[in-house]
Amino acid sequence: AQSVSQHNHHVILSEAASLELGCNYSYGGTVNLFWYVQYPGQHLQLLLKYFSGDPLVKGIKGFEAEFIKSKFSFNLRKPSVQWSDTAEYFCAVKARVADTGRRALTFGSGTRLQVQP
């Protein structure tokens, strides 16, 4: 079964600092990759996703992620964070599993980002 690792559990940055959150998955086949974000008091919402094509994916609010197949990674980046980026970030993987009908996501444990003004 696939698994997702987010090694940074809690990250504290100052405004304007650059951000990179790590995400590694274990699955040898074709994957769809997602980053979700949960702002304080709000729903979990999609930040960006990768299905195929250009491995550098741009999402909302200036976020981007790069799929590196050889490293089984899908790290999230932002060149300059803002206080409003304070949230919890979840990486998720959906793998193509033939004939099982399994269509759900496997989530990482999340990274709590705190941006200090």
Binding residues for other proteins, rule: CB under 8 A, are 4, 6, 32, 34, 36, 43-46, 49, 51, 90, 92, 94, 96, 101-110
Cβ 108 to other proteins, closest distance in Å?
5
**Between residues 51 and 83, which has the closer beta carbon with respect to other proteins?**
51
**Between residues 12 and 16, which has the closer beta carbon with respect to other proteins?**
12
Q: Which residue has the tokens 């959906």?
A: 94
**Between residues 61 and 82, which has the closer beta carbon with respect to other proteins?**
61
Q: Which of 70, 114, 106, 69 is nearest to 90 (CA)?
A: 106
Q: Which residues contact 54 (CB under 8 A, 6 or more apart)?
A: none
Residue 31 in tokens: 């994957």
